[in-house]
Amino acid sequence: MAARFRSGLVVGKFAPLHLGHEHLIRHAQGHCEQLYLLSWSRPELPGYEAERRARWLALRFPTLKHWVLTPERVAQWQRAGLDLPDLPYNHEDDETQREFVARFCQQVLGDPVEAVFTSEAYGDGFAAHLAQRFGQPVRHLGLDPQRSQVAISGSRLRADIHGLRSFLAPAVYGDFVERIGLLGGESTGKSSLAQALAGALDTRYAAEFGREHWLACDGQLGYDDLLHIGRTQVAREDQLAGQARRYLVCDTTPLTTLFYCQDQFGRAEAELEQLARRLYHHLFLCADDFPFVQDGTRQGEAFRRRQNRWYLEQLQQRGWRYSLLTGSLAQRVNQVLAALEVPSTR
């Protein structure tokens, strides 16, 4: 579709950025040579802070210019001499909100936009206010105000983000998935537990890339391989989170990779040290309380005990909360479910 307007604007909280917003933005893109996205919420809605919303816009619309405003950012522009009012609060009247957008277009964009795009009833009055301030026509193009094409709203999503996850792009929904990190030495049942938990929680699990890479390299890993393992494990988690359901079970964490790197090479790259600081919503340490099983790839019982002691020391030094899992696989699954306050499989 040929662009009808030189520039246009979409304004919203995008808390969260859902498929209805995306439908509107793509519609607006088809009508404009240049489309701007503007977002703010004052106060911020918990879980939907400015940094997170800006990241969603950058991920989903990397070619579009977007601004996610905060009172601090507006104050910086004011100190720099821009004639901007304070960022409006969410409860302030339409006139205050519209005037802020008009001044933002004039002072920050330097562009009196020709069109605004909304799915809301306020769109006509919004466009009329901008036209008066700009001294030139501003069109309002409304799209699906009845929400018949994408039947969702931000308030409904915030009330049931997991039940309505199909209205979010995976890259957005993944931010709401709780990561379950499993730690434990060799032959402590981590991999079996990860698969069993994923089944019990009806979700996905991120398998241990380090073991896959070790097998692919015939057990010969170099120093650089460990950082590669850490990066890949994190990327795997991030990719799978959007496909998960409330929880993502992580067979391991980069803390495990750090252990092997330090144990084998006596040092680790700063980036791997940073990856090992990655936080998980829930951490579980698998106890070494059942017989060691040698599958031909493991180092032995003494190594397993030393590895688990290292995890305990690290968890305590870092001040991370965790739960120790003991007993059989079924018992461990039920211990995790109890910690998550999810009904047990028994």
Q: 198-253 pLDDT, tens per residue?
A: 999 999 999 999 989 988 998 899 999 999 999 999 999 999 999 999 999 999 99
Tokens representing residue 247 in the block: 């929880």
The pLDDT value recorded for residue 303 is 84
Gap between the Cα atoms of 333 and 342, Å rounded: 11
Q: What residues have CB less than 8 Å from 201, skipping those under 6 apart? A: 245, 246, 247, 249, 337, 340, 342
Model pLDDT for residues 54-104, shown as the tens digit of each residue: 999 999 999 999 999 999 999 999 999 999 999 999 999 999 999 999 999
pLDDT band of 2, cuts 50, 70, 90: low
Domain 5-158 grouped into CATH 3.40.50.620: yes
The conformation of residue 106, written as its DSSP 8-state character, comes to: I
Domain ranges of the chain: 5-158, 177-340
Distance between CA atoms of 309 and 103, rounded to whole angstroms?
A: 60
Q: Is 344 a residue whose pLDDT tops 80?
A: no
- How many other CB atoms are found less than 10 A from the CB of residue 151? 11
Task: Pull the structure tokens for residue 131.
Answer: 């036209």
- What average pLDDT does this structure show over 243-266? 96
pLDDT per position as a tens digit, 15-28: 999 999 999 999 99
Q: What is the pLDDT of residues 180-193, one digit of tens each?
A: 999 998 878 899 99
Residues 253, 249: Cα–Cα separation, whole Å:
10
pLDDT at site 123: 93
Q: Is the pLDDT of residue 343 over 90?
A: no
What CATH class does 177-340 carry?
alpha beta
CATH topology of 5-158 equal to that of 177-340?
yes
Residue 283, classed as helix, strand or coil, is: strand
Q: How far apart are CA 299 and CA 244, in angstroms?
A: 33
Of residues 249, 276, 236, 274, the one with CA closest to residue 260: 276
